[in-house]
Structure formats: C-alpha cells, structure tokens
Amino acid sequence: MFNAKVFSITVPKEVEKNVVIEPLQKNEKREMNLISDSIYAWGDSMEIVHIPSDIIKIESDSVIINALALQNLRGLQFQIVAMDNPNDRALITVYVSSDATKYAEQKMEQSKPQFVLPWISEDQAIQINLPEETPLEHTLIHLPAFNPETGEIINNITLKGAMAEYFTYDTSKSSLVVAKLIDYEVLDLSQKIFDLEIIADNPSSPPTSANLIVTVQNLDDNSPKILFFNNENAEKPLKLKLSENSPPGKILIEFKIFDADAEPEKKKYDKFNFKLSGEIAGNFQIQQVC
C-alpha cells in the first residue's frame, strides 16, 4: 500500500540530481507502474508541455524523475498504480521554482489543507439548501479535509459564522451535520440566507477555509389560524346573534386568516379555500375581500 494517496514536492529550477520519490511503506516490496496517460506537464505560462514518458522511471521501490527534463518545466503531475491492485493508486505532483522566496511560499501554500469536491478554492462558495426542521445529526455535506502532502485526513476542524451554533463537524464522518433544529418562522431575514465557514487547520501550515452559503427553505408546516376582531382567536363554539328576516348581504362577522408560513418579504402567500358546513349552511356564504 502506498504511503499516501497524494504526494506533492517542490524542487528548485536549477535541480541537478534526479528527483527520487519512495511512495511505498517501509520494507514493503511491491511492483508498481506508471500510468502513462496520466502524465501532465506545464511551463512558465501554465501552457501544456508534451514530454516523453521515459523521463519518469520506476526502479525497485522508487520513482525517479529526470532532473534535466524538470529544468524546462514549471510543474509535472502523474499517477502510479500497484501492479497487484489496479485500484491502489497515488497522485504525484512536482512543482519547479526558480526563486528561493517563491519556493518557500509555494512550499507553504502546497502544504495547506485541502477539501474534496465540491470544494474548489477558498474564493468559491458552496451553495447549500437546508429545509427547516431538518432532523438533528442529518448530514448537510460530506466534506473531508486532507493534507495534500501526505493524503492524511485532517480532523482539526472549526466552524465560523453567525449560525455556526446550529451545526457541528462530525470528524468520524468528515461531514457537517445539524446540531440544532432551525425553524424558518423565527428567523430574521439575515438568518434565512447566511455564510458558514469550515476551517481546516494543520499545525505546520496556514489554515484553509471552505465557504458555504446556506439557504434555509421554508416548509408549509403550520396550520392556518382564523382570527377575529383584534387578532384574537375565536372562542369555540362562536355564538352569533342573527335577527329574523335579516336581509341578504348582511355581515355577521369579519375574520382573517393568519398563515405562519407566509413570506411577506418575498410577497409569497398561500391561497386558501373556504367551506361552510352544517344543517342550514346553504343559507350563508363567505365573501372574500382582497
């Protein structure tokens, strides 16, 4: 088994000795092979550079890269595979730097934690829709963070944001999960769409953030209420007095419907249907006023 799934190294542009990488675990004897179709190289302007596959050689338990060929590149990437298991692969990336300061900066940048897809970079936010009342411990997103130099999973994760208390990062699943129930109706406008930051920290390098934009979705989960008079709930049963021979069109009572799921800021309201029931219901009607 390879030491890691991802290997990343940086060498100076004036490299004179062939680069040697030992991807196998100590004292392990396994045959491995280069996946020729995976070779990708680029130059100073990030243009693709076509190179022969023989600049990469596999000898015994080592991968050897020709130093002279690297001097004409800015970077090289390829995969290797175990001969006894085609699913056991490792990705190797070699960066070539011509400046000592940039080399150190590049080395530091390369060691920063990375997240898996759908994360792309710290500058690109991940959009997530979250229905209100989502159950506790429900997985919002599976987003492992890893050390790009070793491929090891990073468990030093913190959350940041005004709504961070509603979530937790479950390191056993490498996932963001719900920690508190969210009721759409009690949120203010700024809480219905909010930013959430997942921060992965590796002691030997700067932290990396995954920025999420979470939209809480309103569910039609509240029964409408009939309100009379001064927004008070009606007594049940409601007793009304009606004089005999009252003319058609006489108003007996006025009421309105209160819908907790309405979203006035979006001008979103449900439409309700009304029906009268009872022995003489046919003698009355409900008149809707917009």
Give the chain's domains with CATH numbers: 6-110 (2.60.40), 126-217 (2.60.40.60), 221-290 (no CATH)
The residue behind tokens 């991807």 is 23
Residue 230 has pLDDT above 60, yes or no: no
The residue behind tokens 């130099």 is 149
State the distance between the two ends of the chain, measured CA to CA, in whole angstroms: 72
* Count of residues making up the chain: 290
Q: What is the spatial distance between Cα 206 and Cα 111, in angstroms, rounded to a whole number?
A: 8
Q: What is the spatial distance between Cα 119 and Cα 125, in angstroms, rounded to a whole number?
A: 8
Q: What is the pLDDT of residues 109-149, one digit of tens each?
A: 778 999 999 999 999 999 999 998 899 999 999 999 998 87
Q: What is the pTM of this model?
A: 0.49
Q: What is the pLDDT of residues 8-59, one digit of tens each?
A: 888 888 888 999 999 988 778 889 999 999 999 999 888 999 999 999 999 8
What does the pLDDT read at residue 172? 95
Residue 88 has pLDDT above 70, yes or no: yes
118 preceded by cis ω (within 30°)?
yes
| Residue 233 binned pLDDT confidence (cut-offs 50, 70, 90) | low
